[in-house]
């Protein structure tokens, strides 16, 4: 009982840290976008965490952990609606597992579920209608994320392979799931007015880089819970190593993104530095518990370098991602997942092939499902605001308020 209590307390602390990450995402997104759209972005972030938790309670948790017996894809083992199963005659059943209670498991995993839609929120900022985005969030978080998650974390077919697919804390299951949807959404939505001129990308500066910097530091702190909690216990060796590899990858990612971007563009780009940190964090997430500190530095360094070239590639393809979500969460998520088969304790050709199969499986379900949802919305209710709304700001037209109102008293 004492061990259960210790493990459970650690898991709840990690749950709180992952919850805190949603403030980091909000800060990062509003900092890298323009003042006229801040309320809209904050509204989306609040909607995602509140509705995401309710959806995960009603259907997502049981859909993601159905108790596979035959390797089905998640539809056929559905355990029912809601979270009342472990309550027996009004008494909490603690016989869930040795690491934590049923309720802690739900809350920790629920925080992860909302993250996928948050990634999309930043990518489509400043030009997507609020209503269609909310509908997309409900469908993607409520159905697609838990079904896809069941393939590995729920004991599904990717976990039943002879060499199981490995994703410790979600480089693919969380970050790439959001990243693939972001890519599809950005493609169907189109770029912001003024982003490309004569085919060349134009800088649209964010309104508050200090806020964006605070967001990245909050996210880094939250990753202590994101990866540290994924140990699923308070095991001293496991948690300590995981936090060390997480931090080293983040640091290496930031430094390499800064160095590579400085060599290429001859200026000290803080936003590239910040996204390099996030790229390192996303990259290490798939194998944080399996890497040595040296492995973590290598993974983070490569992720930070990838960021610089990925951002340039996305611009070249005329895709407009205001916060760099596709480069950070999708491309670095793929790299981090494949790295499990290249570096660390699991490195082998068989493991690499298994990682590649997992990445491909998630690419298929995420691209197909997000395309169906967003394309249907585009052809029915429309997904893009009018030119007038975009130029004057979504806050004015969709919310009727400004993020920074003028408090000066009227002079009489």
pLDDT tens digit sequence for 11-27: 999 999 999 999 999 99
The sign of the torsion formed by the CA atoms of 127, 132, 133, 134 equals: positive
Which residues, including other chains, have CB under 8 Å from residue 200's CB and lie 6 or more apart?
Answer: none
The pLDDT, as a whole number, for residue 219 is: 98
Alpha carbons 140 and 89: distance in angstroms, whole number: 35
Give the pairing type, strands 91-92 and 87-88: antiparallel
DSSP 411: P
Residue whose pair of structure tokens reads 């052809």 in the numeric block: 379
| Domain limits for position 346 | 2-399
Measured distance CA(180)–CA(144) in Å, rounded: 12
Is residue 409 in some structural domain? no
The residue count for the chain: 412
Hey, what are 391's tokens? 């130029």
Say how far apart CA 298 and CA 66 lie, in whole Å.
37
Helix (H/G/I), strand (E/B), else coil: 196: strand
Tens of pLDDT, residues 217-239? 999 999 999 999 999 999 999 99
Question: Does a structural domain hold residue 117?
Answer: yes
Domain contains 86? yes
Question: What pLDDT, in 10s, does the model give residues 269-281?
Answer: 999 999 999 999 9
Give the model's pLDDT for residue 84: 72
**pTM higher than 0.85 for the full model?**
yes
Provide the pLDDT for residue 3. 75
Rounded Cα gap, residues 151 and 67, in angstroms:
11
Instruction: Convert the pLDDT of each residue in 247-261 to its tens digit.
Output: 999 999 999 999 999
At residue 95, the pLDDT reads 55
Give the pLDDT mean for 394-401. Answer: 92
Task: Give the per-residue pLDDT at 124.
Answer: 95
Residue 63 forms part of a structural domain: yes
Residue 404 lies in a domain: no
Q: Tell whether 256 is covered by a domain.
A: yes
Percent of the chain with pLDDT over 90: 81
Flag whether 407 is in a domain. no
CATH code at 385?
A: 1.10.3430.10
Phi then psi for 333, rounded to 5 degrees? -65, -40
CA–CA distance from 160 to each of 68, 72, 166, 359, 366 (Å)?
10, 10, 11, 16, 21
Contact between 345 and 242 (Cβ < 8 Å): no
Q: What is the pLDDT of residues 306-337, one digit of tens each?
A: 999 999 999 999 999 999 999 999 999 999 99
The pLDDT tens digits for 66-117 are 765 444 444 445 556 777 766 655 555 555 667 788 888 999 999 998 888 8
Residue 137 lies in a domain: yes
Number of structural domains found in the chain: 1
């Amino acid at each position: 009982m004492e061990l259960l209590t210790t493990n459970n307390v650690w898991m709840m602390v990690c749950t709180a840290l992952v919850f805190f990450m949603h403030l980091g995402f909000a800060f990062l997104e509003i900092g890298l976008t323009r003042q006229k759209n801040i309320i809209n972005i904050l509204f989306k972030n609040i909607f995602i965490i509140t509705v995401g938790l309710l959806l995960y309670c009603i259907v997502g948790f049981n859909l993601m952990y159905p108790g596979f017996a035959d390797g089905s894809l998640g539809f056929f083992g559905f355990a029912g609606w809601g979270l009342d199963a472990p309550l027996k005659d009004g008494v909490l059943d603690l016989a869930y597992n040795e690491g934590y209670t049923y309720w802690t498991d739900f809350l920790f995993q629920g925080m992860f579920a909302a993250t996928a839609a948050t990634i999309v929120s930043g990518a489509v900022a400043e030009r997507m209608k609020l209503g269609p985005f909310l509908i997309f969030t409900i469908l993607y978080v409520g159905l697609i994320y838990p079904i896809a998650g069941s393939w590995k974390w729920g004991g599904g077919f990717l976990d039943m392979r002879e060499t199981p697919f490995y994703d410790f804390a979600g480089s693919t299951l969380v970050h790439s799931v959001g990243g693939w949807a972001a890519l599809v959404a950005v493609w169907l939505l189109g770029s912001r007015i003024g982003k490309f001129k004569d085919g060349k990308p134009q800088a649209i500066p964010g309104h508050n880089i200090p806020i964006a910097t605070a967001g990245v530091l909050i996210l880094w702190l939250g990753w202590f819970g994101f990866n540290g909690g994924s140990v699923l216990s308070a095991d001293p060796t496991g948690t300590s190593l995981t936090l060390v590899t997480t931090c080293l990858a983040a640091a290496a990612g930031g430094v390499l993104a800064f160095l590579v971007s400085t060599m290429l563009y001859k200026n000290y780009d803080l936003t590239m530095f910040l996204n390099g940190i996030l790229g390192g964090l996303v990259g290490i997430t798939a194998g944080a518990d399996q890497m040595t500190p040296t492995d973590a530095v290598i993974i983070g360094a490569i992720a930070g370098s990838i960021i610089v070239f990925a951002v340039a590639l996305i611009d070249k393809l005329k895709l407009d991602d205001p916060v760099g979500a596709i480069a950070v969460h999708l491309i670095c998520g793929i790299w981090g997942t494949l790295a499990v088969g290249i570096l660390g304790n699991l490195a082998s050709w068989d493991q690499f092939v298994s990682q590649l199969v997992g990445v491909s499986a998630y690419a298929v379900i995420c691209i197909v499902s997000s395309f169906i949802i967003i394309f249907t919305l585009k052809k029915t209710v429309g997904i893009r605001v009018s030119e007038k709304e975009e130029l004057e700001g979504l806050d004015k037209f969709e919310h009727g308020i400004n993020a920074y109102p003028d408090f000066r008293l009227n002079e009489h």
